Amino acid sequence: MRRAWLLALTTVSLAIKQGNAVFADLRLAPDREHAPFLHGVASADPLTDSVLLWTRITTENATAQVRWALWDSSEGLGQSFEAPLAGGLVTNITADDDYTLTVTVDGLAAAKAYVYQFEAEDGSRSVLGKTRTASAAGAENVTLAFTSCSSVWSGHFNHYRAIANDDSLEFWVHLGDYIYPEIDVSETYRVPKGLCEHTWFEGIGDLQSQDPSENEDAYVAAMVEALDCDASDLELYRWVQAFYLLDPDLRAARAAHPVIVSFDNHDLADTDNALEGSRKAAFEWVPQRHVLQPAETPGGSPLVSTLRHFRFGGDLLDLIMLDTHSGRLSNETGFLGEAQHEWLDETLANSSSVSWRMFGQAKGFMSFSLNRAAEGLQLYFGIAFALAIFLLSTCVGSSVVVAQRRRRRNESQTLDLVAAAIGYSRSRFDTTEINYLEKAITENPRETWDFYPQDRERFFATLEARDVASNNLVASGDLHMTYFADIVPYDQDDADSLVFYDPETYAGKRYGENKWESASTL
């Protein structure tokens, strides 16, 4: 037993040493190999015949121009810019858009893979990007990756590297909080030293990483030194967007697959005076199709909505991206706003022939009814569970004549079983998740659909009215947890209670029960 404890302590010690080694390496640097396209490339918002292409050119000139080209991926790499499948020249790239450019490529074939590249005036080329169009009728499946709430300050982006390396993926969906301008003082894992005194960076002090000369790329150090915390909101948000793309894994994911992004309250400011700057920076650095929503903030700023609709496989999947941020900032009450409800109704009117509908949005959609009944029973269940297994294993061990070595092994296994039983009981009755959810919901009640029951009920009513109340999935971000839940509407006769629903038999008003077993594979 003592040997096992020593092994455990050794493992912990090694983990600490390895952690410090990683802690000292921010692993942030621009793509110098493909300068002046230091921040990589991206494609976004795929349709059956169109995609968006994005890049940024780093230059000291007042204006720049960039050529772009796209080829069929089957033609191989390094094709000539003189004979692309599609291409063009973007001129007058200026600081007005932070030297970013987004190109809309139309006239493409459905379900087709392409490669693309950008070229500067001196012939320097960007990294080669990969993209594809959405599938048309006849496709049996679509492969999507989902991410949300990605803080560069809190750790390395291994999930982005996994997305970049997965050739089976077709598209990547980000459900909001693509950036975090502010730093959580409990998660200062990749914070460069020397950040200026801004409210975003308050309290980090000695928690920052080590001396910049020891662990930072020169470009990163220069960015930190150049940051002016008295700059405009637009300049500050642009700085954060650029800083994120110093991460090689994020750049790789953006270059590998078309991305569909929804914004939330960290991407876009919650205050009217900072909203315009954060929004402009977001649309400069994250390619996206968007429409002007006819609504205004209390301060009179127009709201640009991120609601969009993508169809895959002709009649396989409708991916409907909702905007749960703009509506809360508008003069209207509710989560979505009147214009978005009307848009949703029109979109669903053409969705009845589609097997699946997925609604991508930032906020927790299901009703959070926090059951704390098990909290006081956790310890008792753990002790009872452990004691039962201990007695059972002791009886088994004493009723059989075994060698001494076998008996010692049984004793060791018994202790392991006791530990496992306690761990299992904690996993079954631990209320850490409940405490986290309760804190998140009570401190920020406007951050879930529970605060807007009228919006959720109108959403359900629209599904019913358009005869699409089956096979609906809602993908949510924001809560920093992984959870699955059946979607159940509120009882119209009693708004404080849920309608009867039996998850074992699917009896009750469950959205999706009718075609659940027979629908195409998602």
How does pLDDT run along the chain (522 residues), one tens digit per residue? 333 333 322 223 222 233 333 334 789 999 999 999 999 999 999 999 999 999 999 999 999 999 999 999 987 665 788 889 999 999 999 999 999 999 999 999 999 999 999 999 999 999 999 999 999 988 999 999 999 999 999 889 999 999 999 999 999 999 999 999 999 887 788 888 888 888 888 777 655 544 444 557 899 989 999 999 999 999 999 999 999 999 999 999 999 999 999 999 899 887 777 888 998 999 999 999 976 554 554 455 555 678 899 999 999 999 999 988 876 666 566 778 887 888 899 999 999 999 999 999 988 887 765 555 445 545 555 555 555 544 544 444 333 333 333 344 444 444 444 444 444 444 444 455 556 666 666 666 667 787 788 888 899 999 999 999 889 999 988 878 777 777 776 554 444 444 555 656 655 555 554 433 333 333
Across-strand partners of 292? 304
Q: How is 34-102 classified by DSSP, letter by letter?
A: GTT-TT-EEEE---SS-EEEEEE---SSSEEEEEEEEEEGGG-SS--TTS-SEEEEEEEEEGGGTTEEE
d(CA 243, CA 21): 22
Predicted pLDDT at 316: 96
Predicted pLDDT at 215: 55
Q: Is 399 helix (H, G, I), strand (E, B) or coil?
A: coil
Predicted pLDDT at 160: 97
- Residue 312 CB-density burial (10 A; 0-12 exposed, 13-18 middle, 19+ buried): buried
Buried b / exposed e along 446-475 (16+ C-beta atoms within 10 A):
ebbbbbbeebbebbbebbeebebbbbbebb
CA distances from 85 to 25, 105, 117, 248 (A): 42, 11, 12, 28
CA distances from 168 to 117, 165, 421, 476 (A): 22, 9, 39, 23
Q: Which of 141, 142, 147, 143 is nearest to 161 (CA)?
A: 147
Token pair listed for 15? 């983990």
CA distances from 480 to 148, 150, 286, 486 (A): 8, 10, 22, 19
Q: Are strands 507-508 and 501-502 parallel, antiparallel or unpaired?
A: antiparallel
Predicted pLDDT at 425: 43
d(CA 94, CA 265): 28
CA 473 to chain centre: 16
Inter-residue contact 284 to 319 (CB < 8 Å): no
d(CA 113, CA 75): 11
d(CA 414, CA 420): 10
Predicted pLDDT at 355: 94
Domains of the chain by residue range: 375-430
Predicted pLDDT at 2: 36
Inter-residue contact 134 to 144 (CB < 8 Å): no
Across-strand partners of 232? none
